[in-house]
Amino acid sequence: MGENVSNKKIIVIGGGASGLVAAIAAKYSNSMVTILERNPKIAKKILATGNGRCNYTNVLATEFNYNHPEFVKPALQVLNPEATIQFFETLGIVPKVEDNGKTYPLSEQASSFLDVFMYEINRSNINLICDTFVENITKKGNTFIIKDSNGNQYTADAVILTTGGKVLPKSGSDGSGYGFAQSLGHTITHVFPSLTKLKLDYPYLKQLDGVKIPGKAELIYQNQSLQTETGDVLFTSYGISGPTILQLSRKAIDLHLNHQEVFIKVTLVNELSKADVKRRIYQFSDKSIEMCLVGLINKKFIPVLLKEVGIHDSSTEISQISPKSIHKLVELLFDWRFKVIGYKGYEDAQVTAGGITIDEVNPMTMESKLIKGLYFAGEILDIDALCGGYNLQWAWSSGYLAGISASLGD
């Protein structure tokens, strides 16, 4: 850290993931930095990430994990996953890389981030002002004027807007930043919740409520599989959830909102072939259909699947069931489709799809192309990715680039 303090006054609006890294990067570049955060404490959403463990990066992340690869590329080059791990190691976070590159703090506590950020803010003399809800940002000449709901007014040479998207509004990110960006001339794309649970049109959901299976789920559009995910699938009273479904939700919701018909295909039997299953069924021709399926699939599925193929009594012997019904049943075990009719909203989602349109932002600096001295970072921009540490990686990388650029920009 340099000792010389430049005359540049930078205000970071939002003390979340991207704002905190932006503030530190700007401070390391010798600016005078103030963070304005509406909550009594910073980093509220970080505490909820990764089921309280914070999957803070993914060592395999590249620009192709994001919806606009070309736009994210420069920021990821400035702070890639390896550099991110180093950055946090200097703050005190010891990394633990798990399956598929997902990286967590060795402490297994997302709260470690709150602790190291608070320590660094104090150590490097960043001015943190909490309980401050920013209401208005204007620019007069070369000076930004920021007003909060307590009647205070702040001035700055540069502003970094990092108020996040709209998910988990109780964490403080409720989309208020979009209004500031719009008032300064920016355009907001269509925004919707992503990485969330899906609502299905299916009459027997209540009977399946709570059944969790390690399986395979696919997104089907126009009879084609658009995306396949393996892992846990969880049936609920309104539809379907689990890590596989969150990953499929981005494309599913986008198509659904564009009035397209999409289906989730679930494969209940992954270890055997259709021929194996058929052979097994006919091997027990004197047994009931229920006893044939027990031990193959979760018992709660049996009455529902039998209803689907028109078998009304689960004690019916295999020999009494038509080959057509057996064929249909076996097909369903490998290809069970459910129509998507909706999704759980911002309270349940993990990321906002859409945001400030990227055409209006310089990806080399994160500066607005419309207002000199105005910078953006994190989820407020039209950038999102799947689960796996990519969204926080974007927050850190874009925050870091914005912090440096805001300090160095003239």
Ligand X SMILES: Cc1cc2nc3c(=O)[nH]c(=O)nc-3n(C[C@H](O)[C@H](O)[C@H](O)COP(=O)(O)OP(=O)(O)OC[C@H]3O[C@@H](n4cnc5c(N)ncnc54)[C@H](O)[C@@H]3O)c2cc1C
Contact 146, 360 (CB under 8 A): no
Cα-atom radius of gyration of the chain, to the nearest Å?
A: 25
| Burial of 195 from C-beta contacts in 10 A (0-12 / 13-18 / 19+) | buried
Q: Cβ of residue 338: shortest distance to ligand X, in angstroms? A: 24
Tell me how far apart the alpha carbons of residues 377 and 405 are, in angstroms, rounded to a whole number.
11
Q: In the complex with ligand X, which residue's Cβ is closer, 304 or 399?
A: 399
Tell me how far apart the alpha carbons of residues 321 and 338 are, in angstroms, rounded to a whole number.
25
Q: In the complex with ligand X, which residue's Cβ is closer, 20 or 305?
A: 20
Q: In the complex with ligand X, which residue's Cβ is closer, 165 or 306?
A: 165
Q: In the complex with ligand X, which residue's Cβ is closer, 128 or 293?
A: 128
Q: Cβ of residue 158: shortest distance to ligand X, in angstroms? A: 17
Q: Cβ of residue 103: shortest distance to ligand X, in angstroms? A: 9
Q: In the complex with ligand X, which residue's Cβ is closer, 89 or 261?
A: 89
The residue among 117, 104, 145 whose CA lies nearest residue 15 is 117
Q: Cβ of residue 13: shortest distance to ligand X, in angstroms? A: 6
Nearest residue to ligand X by CB is 16
Q: Cβ of residue 241: shortest distance to ligand X, in angstroms? A: 13
- Would you state the structure tokens that stand for residue 283, as one six-digit string? 């091997």
Rounded alpha-carbon distances, angstroms, from residue 283 to 230, 276, 318: 30, 10, 9
- Would you state the structure tokens that stand for residue 369, as one six-digit string? 């192309």
Q: Cβ of residue 67: shortest distance to ligand X, in angstroms? A: 13
Q: In the complex with ligand X, which residue's Cβ is closer, 25 or 302?
A: 25
Rounded alpha-carbon distances, angstroms, from residue 227 to 64, 216, 218, 256: 15, 11, 6, 15
Q: In the complex with ligand X, which residue's Cβ is closer, 160 or 200?
A: 160
* CB-based burial, 215-231: b 16+ in 10 Å, e otherwise: bbbbbbbeeeeebebee
Q: Cβ of residue 178: shortest distance to ligand X, in angstroms? A: 10
Q: In the complex with ligand X, which residue's Cβ is closer, 60 or 297?
A: 60
- Would you state the structure tokens that stand for residue 61, as one six-digit string? 């992340």
Do the strands 127-129 and 32-36 form a parallel or antiparallel pair, or are they unpaired?
A: parallel
Which residues are at the interface with ligand X (CB under 6 A)?
13-19, 36-39, 44-45, 48-50, 54-55, 133-134, 162-164, 167-168, 171-173, 176-177, 350-351, 378-380, 389-392, 395
Q: Cβ of residue 378: shortest distance to ligand X, in angstroms? A: 2
- Helices within 201-341 (DSSP H only): 205-208, 243-257, 274-283, 289-293, 301-308, 323-334
